[in-house]
Amino acid sequence: MIRAIIATTALLALAACDAPTPRVDTEGQAARGDMDAATSAFAGCIDNQAQTIDVAGEAAGTLAIRATSACGSERAALVETVAAFNRIGYPSRTPQQIDAVAEASVKVLEDEARNAAVVTIVKRQGETAPAQTPAEGQ
């Protein structure tokens, strides 16, 4: 009986409380949002370049490198946002360490996006290549 009274009192006390105030985004959460947007912009730029670059007459790898190079401003923005995010999370790191981590992080993303661009370009080259007859292939 006493437990029931205590439980009821606790529930009534909780019911009387207002809903919790919404959380305010922290600086780190805002920086992560910026980093996600910059990542999306960089990857989207490379993908767009791979979809629109002229694929005739050159190797897919060469074209993918060109597509990636065309997104230099997006890459620079991503490096800066990654560095800003790291400054928040690791305030004791030196600027050189933060820059090195940012460059290495973006390099990983860049390699993945370039590899995806190669696949896209190879597919496009296959779609635009003239069909060979069996006699031509021999």
In a domain, 18, yes or no: no
pLDDT of residue 26: 82
Q: Could you tell me the two tokens for 52?
A: 């629109």
Residue found under tokens 């009274």:
5
In a domain, 78, yes or no: yes
What residues make up the domain containing 59? 27-127
pLDDT of residue 119: 97
In a domain, 88, yes or no: yes
In a domain, 138, yes or no: no
pLDDT of residue 133: 56
In a domain, 4, yes or no: no
Instruction: Judge contact between 32 and 102, C-beta under 8 A.
Output: no
Which one-letter DSSP state was computed for residue 91? T
Look at phi and psi of residue 94 and say left if phi exceeds 0, alpha if psi is from -120 to 50, else beta.
Answer: beta
Instruction: Calculate the CA dihedral of residues 67, 70, 73, 77 and round it to 10 degrees.
Output: 10
Instruction: Judge contact between 107 and 64, C-beta under 8 A.
Output: no
Instruction: Judge contact between 67 and 117, C-beta under 8 A.
Output: yes
In a domain, 16, yes or no: no
Instruction: Judge contact between 30 and 88, C-beta under 8 A.
Output: no
Q: Cα(56)–Cα(65) distance, rounded to whole angstroms? A: 15
pLDDT of residue 68: 97
Ranges of residues in the chain with a pLDDT under 50 are: none
In a domain, 104, yes or no: yes
Percent share of the chain, pLDDT over 90: 66
- To which H or E segment does residue 85 belong? helix 72-89
pLDDT of residue 105: 96
Domain count, the chain: 1
In a domain, 42, yes or no: yes
